[in-house]
Amino acid sequence: MILWHYPSKNLINLTNLKNALHIWRADIDLRPELLTKLAVNLSLDERQRADRFYFERDKKKYIASRGLLRIILSGYLNIEPDRLEFRYSQQGKPELNNIDTEARLCFNVSHSQDLAVYAIALNRAVGIDLEYLRQIADVQQLAERFFSRSESSLINALPESQQQQLFFRFWTIKEAYLKATGEGLSGLQAIAVSITPENAINLSSTESNILLNNQWFCTEFKPGAEYTGALVVERKDLEENAIEYFTLETDYIMNH
């Protein structure tokens, strides 16, 4: 069972990430005064991107998710949130640009509906995905379009009430892997997911038939009653009990 707890200053530092990984969850439907505090820390290009959102609710959630990322990262690096600079891969994956340290702080972000999750690691490529569990009318057709034949067969063989859940399990683990590698969704069908007898996830490549679990640690988690999440990170001897789960609360935001 996953226990989400509040962060303390003695836990949030680079030393504690050497043999661990941290997952954060945060509400991004925030009060105006919190949004104002977070917006001040954003860079010019982040503010310009926020202004390009057509709907005000999407603009506010972008400001919240990006501002909270800065708050989280600044706690590990002990610098002000507005001093962080980012660069982007060709697929748009962000990474820190102006932190001169031998320890490479790696991160990934996902948000859905009113929730965001953040994966924080040290010297490990990492990807995280979050999905709000909503009803999909054409789940069988989507599975046949985006998944392998074995995956779509597993979904289609289930009662209709269980198909949605398995679809989202497959989708989140695949997307988390593609975000970890930086490949983007174009590689969705090259990744195969299977379920072990213990109901855990196995990850492999359909192109070379390599069990990716040997190279990557993958796990699922529940950040909320109506959400499902998945994490994929470079294994490097990382064990599941080395993952710590934090809830980002208002007090932490206001004090950073």
Q: What is the CATH number of the domain that holds 11?
A: 3.90.470.20
Co-location of 214 and 110 in the same domain: no
Co-location of 119 and 244 in the same domain: yes
Co-location of 151 and 192 in the same domain: yes
Co-location of 74 and 179 in the same domain: no
Co-location of 47 and 75 in the same domain: yes
pLDDT digits (tens, 9 = 90+) for 212-249: 878 899 899 999 989 999 999 998 777 667 899 999 98
Q: pLDDT-based confidence at 209, cuts 50/70/90?
A: low
Co-location of 179 and 224 in the same domain: yes
Count of domains in the chain? 2
In this prediction, residue 31 carries a pLDDT of 93
Q: pLDDT-based confidence at 186, cuts 50/70/90?
A: low
Residue 163 has pLDDT above 70, yes or no: yes
Co-location of 137 and 55 in the same domain: no
Q: pLDDT-based confidence at 197, cuts 50/70/90?
A: confident
- Burial class from Cβ neighbours inside 10 Å (0-12, 13-18, 19+) for residue 148 reads buried
> Phi-psi category of 147—alpha, beta or left, where left has phi over 0 and alpha has psi -120 to 50?
beta
The pTM of this model reads: 0.94
pLDDT digits (tens, 9 = 90+) for 148-161: 888 888 898 998 87
Co-location of 202 and 150 in the same domain: yes
Co-location of 162 and 206 in the same domain: yes
In this prediction, residue 126 carries a pLDDT of 95
How far apart are the C-alpha atoms of 81 and 74, rounded to whole Å? 5
Domain containing 190 equals: 132-235
Co-location of 1 and 108 in the same domain: yes
